[in-house]
Structure formats: structure tokens, C-alpha cells
Amino acid sequence: MLHESFQAMREVRPDIAQVIVGDGPGRAQLEKALPDAHFTGFVGQEALARHYASADLFIFPSLSETWGNVVAEAMASGLAVVAYDHAASAELINSGHNGITVPAGNSAAFQQAAVDLCQHPADYARLGRVARLRALEQSWMGIAEQFCITYTKPWRLIMRPRPLVVFDRLDLLEWQFCQRISRLSIYRPWRITLQAASRLGDWPVWVLLILAQPWLQPNSAWRLMQYSVIALFAVAVYRLVKTRLCRERPFITYKLGIQCCEPARDRYSFPSGHTMHAVMFSVLVATHTPWLLPYHSAVNPADCDLPSRPGVALCQ
């Protein structure tokens, strides 16, 4: 099956090469059956990783494997896999999303899938990127997270004093939205944009903006102390609400369909720290320096009667 598939692929892509990694008693027979293939023999883990990294496609026609670690290894290396809907392939591959599977034993469909995919480099590159995200769920860290989620769920249900029906509906809508956004993350410009937005929204940026506000007003030392007290109070309320509601991030609650390329800053998603800082900054600006707001851009600070002690400035 492997030989027939490779020959069919070579008819449409003469530049491709077949590399078979590993050794065993059947090697001599395979070398006769596959004269154009490159046989590496047994290789160590580092060399094996290099072979995976240098490949574009992973063709796996086996039906005898009870699981097939090589499928998970290939996916972890960012390769698009063509395989039968069997064993590990059936468990790990969502056909058309992170690889291609065909009905077990259907050799004609397998060969056609391999031929079709090898003609479209953009498609197998996209499948490979999503395949890697799926494989990362099977890492020790991913397995440990799933274990913790499974065994702490009863305690989380006890902890969260919230109406389940309302929030579970919101969770479902949030999951559907995140699933759609997650599918776009395979495109590098979109992924970089989201990462940049996340970094700009982190607390150091907002804290610096908030701390800069008092210096635009009289009695800056008093304002700075006032802002610090308000910020500490807001953080205390934020932590209390967040730890009581215990709403996990969607990609943790729903492991399938939502992929995350990097670990979360914390486990729970609501209320959002980004939102808290943005709201606090906006409220403080609206209260003490309204002339900085977009809809007050026409107001000249010189037209404001700035009080000599803490209070509200009056603008004409």
C-alpha cells in the first residue's frame, strides 16, 4: 500500500522523496519492494526528531498497530498525517482539520487522499500546524491538566455560588465563539496580532497609564495616594469575584475544538484582568481628567477651574 501510494504521488509530484526510518526483520523485503525509498535504519531520538522536522507529510497505512505512537510523534512535529480511521489516528485526527483519515481498509481512498494532499503544500502546511496543537494536548502537561480538571470538578461545582443554567448557556456561547476564533489562529498574522494585543493589555501597561494620571493634575502626591488606594480596593474585589465564580478559561473547560498555543496566565477567565484595568483607568480619567476623553477633546484644560484642594474641576 505504501509503495502504490508513493508511486501515485510521484506521478503528480516528481520532486518528492520517500524516507523510511527504522529497522527490523522486514527491511530487506521492503528495500526490494521500494527501490526508490531512502532507508535510514535505526536512529536515536535526536536524529528521529530531525527526520520528522525535515518531512512534509506522514503517510501511515498500517492497520496492525494497536495504537501507533508514530502518529502522535508526527503530529507533534507539525506534519500532516494521512492514515486509516483506526487506532491512534481515529482518536487524534479530525479529518480535514488536523490531518486526513479514510475508512479502514479502503486502499483506493487512502491512495487518492495522499495524492490530493501532496499537490497542495498550503493545505498540508495548515493541517500540520493544527496537528501540532492537537498533539500538545497529549503532552505530560496536557494530561496533568486534564487529570486535575476531572478530579477537581466536583469541588468547583460546590465552590461556585452561581445559577448554573444561565452561566452554562453563556459558557456554551463563549465556547462556540472561541472555537471560531481559534480556527483563525493557524494564520500567523492573526496569531501575532492577538499576542500583541494581549501583551499591550497586560497589567504593567495599564498600571503605568494610571500612575501617570496624577501628574497631570494639581496636588499630584495626594492624587497618587488616592489612585493607589482605589487600585488596591479594585484588585481585592477582582480577586474575590474571580475566585468565587471559578469560571475557567474556555480552552481548559472544553479541551476539544479550542486550541491554545501558550499556557494561560491563570486558570479562571472571569472577570478579566484586562477589562478591570481598562475600566478602572477609564473611570479615573472620566472623574479627574475628563478633558483627556475623546468626546471632551474640544475642552481646553485652561478653561477649567482647577481646585486648590482635591475636588472636581468645573469646565465652561
pLDDT, one tens digit per residue, over 169-211 is: 666 676 677 767 777 777 778 878 877 777 766 667 767 777 7
Task: Please determine, for residue 157, whether its predicted confidence score (pLDDT) is greater than 60.
Answer: no
Task: Please determine, for residue 260, whether its predicted confidence score (pLDDT) is greater than 70.
Answer: no
Using alpha carbons, select from 61, 51, 126 the residue that is nearest to residue 89: 61
| pLDDT tier at 247, thresholds 50, 70, 90 | low
Mean pLDDT on 130-146? 79
| Mean pLDDT of all residues belonging to the chain | 76
Percentage of residues of the chain with pLDDT beyond 90: 23
| pLDDT tier at 293, thresholds 50, 70, 90 | low
Cα gap 73→92, rounded to integer Å: 11
* Confidence (pTM): 0.50
Mean pLDDT on 139-159? 65
Amino acid 135: pLDDT: 86
Cα gap 179→173, rounded to integer Å: 10
Instruction: Catalogue the long-range contacts made by 19-23 (C-beta closer than 8 Å, 24 or more residues apart).
Output: 19/51, 19/55, 21/48, 21/51
Task: Please determine, for residue 162, whether its predicted confidence score (pLDDT) is greater than 50.
Answer: no
Task: Please determine, for residue 297, whether its predicted confidence score (pLDDT) is greater than 90.
Answer: no
**CATH 3.40.50.2000 domain position(s) in the chain:** 2-136
- 176-215 in b/e form (b: 16+ CB < 10 A) is eebbeebeebbeeeeeeeeeeeeeeeeeeebeeebeebbe
Q: How many CB atoms lie within 10 A of CB 32?
A: 8
Task: Please determine, for residue 312, whether its predicted confidence score (pLDDT) is greater than 70.
Answer: no
Beta bridge pairs of residue 58: 81
| pLDDT tier at 238, thresholds 50, 70, 90 | confident
| pLDDT tier at 155, thresholds 50, 70, 90 | low
Cα gap 86→99, rounded to integer Å: 13
Q: Please, is 262 exposed, middle or buried when counting C-beta atoms within 10 Å of its C-beta (0-12, 13-18, 19+)? A: exposed
Task: Please determine, for residue 64, whether its predicted confidence score (pLDDT) is greater than 60.
Answer: yes
Assign domain 2-136 to its CATH superfamily. Answer: Glycogen Phosphorylase B; (3.40.50.2000)
Cα gap 210→292, rounded to integer Å: 13
Amino acid 264: pLDDT: 56
Identify the weakest region by mean pLDDT among 159-163, 215-219, 294-298, 309-313. Answer: 309-313
Task: Please determine, for residue 60, whether its predicted confidence score (pLDDT) is greater than 90.
Answer: yes
Amino acid 85: pLDDT: 93
Spacing of C-alpha 189 from chain mean position: 14
More confidently predicted of 57 and 200: 57
Amino acid 164: pLDDT: 46
Mean pLDDT on 80-89? 93
More confidently predicted of 225 and 56: 56
**Strands of the chain, DSSP E:** 19-21, 38-41, 57-60, 80-84, 100-102, 247-248, 268-270, 304-305, 314-315
List Cβ neighbours of 42 (8 Å cut-off, separation of 6 or more): 22, 23
More confidently predicted of 33 and 109: 109
Angle between helices 69-76 and 45-54 (to 10 degrees): 60
| pLDDT tier at 158, thresholds 50, 70, 90 | very low
Cell 497529549, residue located = 138
